[in-house]
Amino acid sequence: MAPVISTPIPIVGVDVDAPARVAIEGVVTGQRVWLELTRNGRVVGVCEVTAEDGGVSEAALRECIGSLTPVSSLPYEVLEDSALPFFSVVVPTICGIPARLQKAVDCLVNLDYPHYEIIIVDNRPDPNREPLPPFAGGERVRTFWEPLRGVSAARNFGIAQAAGEIIAFTDDDVSVDVQWLRELGTRFVLSPEVDAVSGLVLPLELRTEPQLWFEEFFGGFNQSLDGELLNLDILSDDPLFPYSTGRFGASCNMAIRSSTLRRVGDFDVRLGVGTPTHGGEDIDMSMKLVLANGTFAFEPRAKVRHQHRDSTEAFFTQVFGYGTGLTAMFTKLILHDPRHLFKMARRFPRGVRVLLKPRHNRSPSAFATYPRKTYAYHFLGMAYGPFAYVRSVARYHGKR
């Protein structure tokens, strides 16, 4: 059973331009509350406060707003539907929790967007598997089977079926915001030089300790709320880029031009969940794109909510897997081009300082609660990564 926080932490959205006392049903005095501070629908900050008298006082709210640091934005305007591109949304799944998959697809079907398709790729290898549940959405939703195990193989199969000018990726444990595709599409139109866009990934809930630990230890999926463009020229003065992988965002909220995928290639089937490497496929794709002189954008207006793993065992498995995927990806990079080893070696001391930097400021938590052994799982995963990559190369030798 998942360890439950003594009192779950409510996540409440607040408009910073209209601060007023926030009433929260069921909250008790002294309970921790996370406030997502928004302006015009965009999250501009997150902070933790303490509830009192069934909610959050206006004074506490104003103090929270006063602590905000300014966020940067990319040029923005509202576009007509006719100006927006056609999207294909690819969702890989092993249908581990059918109700969760159903919820994810329901969110996608109800997007406020004029023209898109949804491609569900069943990645269970068993030909005698139970069929996927029926989905609403009619002809907009298409389902396929890719028996080659791994999230990269499933995404690649979805790419091959896609008709969209832009291909967006999300997962079956994610609930997308109703404006998700509109914000992604707007960014591609307003920034035509951009090859790929990632967006903001927020927690769906903080009901158990491991869900909170993920936010505290990793800082969630995103390291910043700033809208920005990322390429080798723009970030030439960043001593860690492009090896500072946290800048790219996550593949559960990512979109890439189909023309770019034809140019740089698909996801590497040897990397990702479902393979011995457990991950790294999204970072590998982002690195491949940037190293091919492409441009990445982070658009925080494009929001999704992720169902964090709620048990201790699942959390530590994820921490280990993230470490494994990271160094497996770097192993691939070095084996493909050994010059990266020397470039990374020059950045190694600074990278270690970043890795060992205290993590208590990575989330709004007033104090960190994740177990100290979390570091051990992460570093053990990193140590295993190169071996995992070799195993994966052997397993997928000759596979597409």
Phi and psi at 49, nearest 5°, equal -130, 175
The predicted structure's pLDDT at residue 361: 65
DSSP-derived letter for residue 139 is G
* Percentage of residues of the chain with pLDDT beyond 70: 94
Dump pLDDT digits (tens) for 311-361. Answer: 999 999 999 999 999 999 999 999 998 888 877 777 666 655 555 555 556
The predicted structure's pLDDT at residue 341: 83
151-170 burial code (b ≥16 CB/10 A, e <16): bbbbbbbbbeebebbbbbbb
Pick from 168, 153, 150, 226: which is nearest to 235 by CA?
A: 226
CB atoms within 10 A of CB 243: 18
Q: Are 195 and 255 in contact (CB under 8 A)?
A: no
The predicted structure's pLDDT at residue 380: 97
In this prediction, residue 133 has a pLDDT band, given cuts at 50, 70 and 90, of: confident
Q: Are 149 and 123 in contact (CB under 8 A)?
A: yes
Residues 299-307: what's their mean pLDDT? 96
Please give the C-alpha separations between residue 287 and each of 7, 94, 264, 280, in angstroms, as whole numbers.
Answer: 40, 27, 11, 10
CATH homologous superfamily of domain 81-314? Spore Coat Polysaccharide Biosynthesis Protein SpsA; Chain A (3.90.550.10)
Of 128-132, 148-152, 258-262, 383-387, minimum mean pLDDT range: 128-132
Instruction: Find all residues with CB under 8 Å of 142, minimum gap 6, and list them.
Output: 117, 118, 119, 120, 161
In this prediction, residue 4 has a pLDDT band, given cuts at 50, 70 and 90, of: low
Residues 293-310: what's their mean pLDDT? 95
The CA dihedral of 237, 258, 299, 361, to the nearest 10 degrees, is -60
Residues 95-105: what's their mean pLDDT? 94
Please give the C-alpha separations between residue 122 and each of 60, 78, 91, 132, 263, in angstroms, as whole numbers.
Answer: 47, 36, 9, 8, 26
**DSSP, residue by residue, 174-209:** EEE-TTHHHHHHHHHHH-TT-SEEEEEEEES---BH
The predicted structure's pLDDT at residue 232: 86
In this prediction, residue 144 has a pLDDT band, given cuts at 50, 70 and 90, of: very high
Strand 11-15 vs strand 141-145: parallel, antiparallel, or unpaired?
unpaired
Dump pLDDT digits (tens) for 47-91. Answer: 999 988 888 888 888 899 888 889 999 999 999 999 999 999 999
Phi and psi at 87, nearest 5°, equal -110, 145
Give, in degrees to the nearest 5, the angle at Cα 44 between 247 and 297.
35
Residues 143-169: what's their mean pLDDT? 97
Residues 139-164: what's their mean pLDDT? 96
The predicted structure's pLDDT at residue 204: 96
Strand 32-39 vs strand 42-50: parallel, antiparallel, or unpaired?
antiparallel
Where in the chain is CATH 3.90.550.10? 81-314
**Distance between alpha carbon 254 and the CA centroid of its chain, in Å?**
8
Of 40-49, 240-249, 258-267, 299-308, minimum mean pLDDT range: 240-249
Q: Which amino acid is at 56?
A: V
Residues 153-170: what's their mean pLDDT? 98
Alpha helices, DSSP H, located in the chain: 58-66, 98-109, 151-161, 180-190, 209-218, 258-264, 281-291, 312-336, 339-356, 373-395
Dump pLDDT digits (tens) for 218-247. Answer: 988 887 899 999 988 887 777 777 777 777
pLDDT > 80? residue 376: yes
Q: Are 91 and 170 in contact (CB under 8 A)?
A: yes
264-294 burial code (b ≥16 CB/10 A, e <16): bebbbbbbbbbbbbbbbbbbbbbbbbbeeeb
